[in-house]
Amino acid sequence: MSGSPIDRRFEAVVMDWDGTVVPDRRSDASEVRAVIESATELGLHIGIVSGTHLANVDEQLMARPAGPGSLHLCLNRGSEVFRVGARGPRLVWRRRPSADENQLLDAAADAAVDALTARGLTVRLVSRRLNRRKLDLIPEAAWSDPPKAAIADLLGAVTSRLHAAGISDLREAVRVVRAAAVEAGLPSPCVTSDAKHIEVGLTDKSDSARWLAGHLWACGVHPPGVLVVGDEFGSLGGTPGSDALMMVPELAGAAVVSVGSEPEGAPGRVMALHGGPALCLELLRDQLGRRRAGELPTPPLTVGWTLDVNDASSLHPAAAAAVCALGDGIVGSVGFAGDQSPAVLMQGRYVGHGPETELLQLPIWQVLAGMPAARGVRRTLDLRTGVLWYTAQDADGARAAVAFQSRARAATGVLRQEVGALRGSAPVLVEPSDTRVPGTHRGDRAGMTVENAGCAVAARATRLRGASGATADSYAVYRGADQRALAGRNAAAALRRARAAGFDRLLNEHREAWAARWADADISIDAPGDLQARVRFALYHLMSSAPSAGEAAIAARGLSGEGYRGHVFWDADVFVLPFLAATHPQSARAMLEYRIRRLDAARRRATADGRRGARFPWESAATGDDVTPRRARNPITGRTVSIRTGDLEEHIVSDVAWAANRYVEWTGDEAFWLEGGADLVAEAARYWVSRVREDGDGRAHIDRVIGPDEYHVPVDDNAFTNVMARWTLRRAAALPAAARVKDVERDRWCQLADALVDGYRPTDGLYEQFAGFSGLEPLIIRDVAPRRPIAADLLLGPDRVAGAQVIKQADVLMLHYLVPEEVAPGSLVPNLEHYEPRTAHGSSLSLGVHASLLARAGRLESALSALELVARIDVDDLTGTTASGLHLAAMGTVWNAVTQGMLGLRATERCLEVDPHLPSQWRSVRGHVRYRGARIDVEAFPGGVRVSADQPTPVSVGDMPAVTVTKRWTVVPVVHPLRESGSDPMTRAIDRSTLRS
Task: Report the distance separating Cα 476 and Cα 54, nearest Å.
Answer: 43
- The size of the chain, in residues, is 997
Under a CB-based contact definition with an 8 Å cutoff, are residues 389 and 401 in contact? yes
710 is catalytic: yes
Q: What is the dihedral of CA 257, 258, 259, 261, to 10 degrees?
A: -160
Under a CB-based contact definition with an 8 Å cutoff, are residues 309 and 32 in contact? no
794: how many CB neighbours lie within 10 A of its CB? 15
Backbone phi, psi, residue 149, to 5° = -65, -20
DSSP reduced 3-state for 37: helix
Backbone phi, psi, residue 879, to 5° = -95, -5
Backbone phi, psi, residue 252, to 5° = -60, 130
Task: Tell the burial category of 638 from Cβ atoms under 10 Å away from its Cβ (0-12, 13-18, 19+).
Answer: exposed
Task: Report the distance separating Cα 313 and Cα 303, nearest Å.
Answer: 18
Q: At what angle do helices 170-183 and 99-118 cross, to 10 degrees?
A: 130
Under a CB-based contact definition with an 8 Å cutoff, are residues 732 and 741 in contact? yes
Q: Which among 358, 418, 431, 710 is annotated as catalytic? A: 710
Under a CB-based contact definition with an 8 Å cutoff, are residues 544 and 558 in contact? yes
Across 546-702, the runs of DSSP E, i.e. the strands, are 631-633, 640-642, 693-694, 700-701
DSSP reduced 3-state for 282: helix
Task: Report the distance separating Cα 471 and Cα 842, nearest Å.
Answer: 47
Under a CB-based contact definition with an 8 Å cutoff, are residues 39 and 501 in contact? no
Q: At what angle do helices 585-597 and 677-691 cross, to 10 degrees?
A: 50
Provide the CA 733 distance to its chain's centre, in angstroms: 37
Name residues whose C-beta falls within 8 Å of residue 22's C-beta, 6 or more positions apart in sequence.
Answer: 29, 32, 60, 277
Ramachandran region, residue 610 (left: φ > 0; alpha: ψ -120 to 50; beta: rest): left
Beta bridge partners of 294: none
Sign of the alpha-carbon dihedral angle for 161, 166, 172, 173: negative
Under a CB-based contact definition with an 8 Å cutoff, are residues 550 and 593 in contact? yes
Provide long-range contacts, Cβ within 8 A and 24+ apart, for 792-795.
792/711, 792/840, 792/842, 793/636, 793/711, 793/842, 794/635, 794/636, 794/997, 795/840
**Which of 475, 510, 473, 509 is CA-nearest to residue 492?**
475
Whole-angstrom CA distances from 402 to 251, 309, 324, 381, 598 are: 24, 15, 12, 10, 39
Edge-to-edge strand order for the sheet containing 255-258? 88-94, 80-85, 71-75, 45-49, 12-16, 226-230, 255-258, 270-272
DSSP letter string, 799-866:
HHHHTBT-BSS-SHHHHHHH-GGGS-TT-HHHHHHHHGGGB---STTHHHHHHHHHHHTT-HHHHHHH
DSSP reduced 3-state for 515: helix
- Determine the longest span between alpha carbons in the chain, in angstroms: 108
Whole-angstrom CA distances from 505 to 61, 237, 380, 409, 874 are: 24, 45, 22, 11, 33
User: How big is the CA angle at 380 (ends 579 and 363), to the nearest 5 degrees?
Assistant: 80
Enumerate the active-site residues: 710
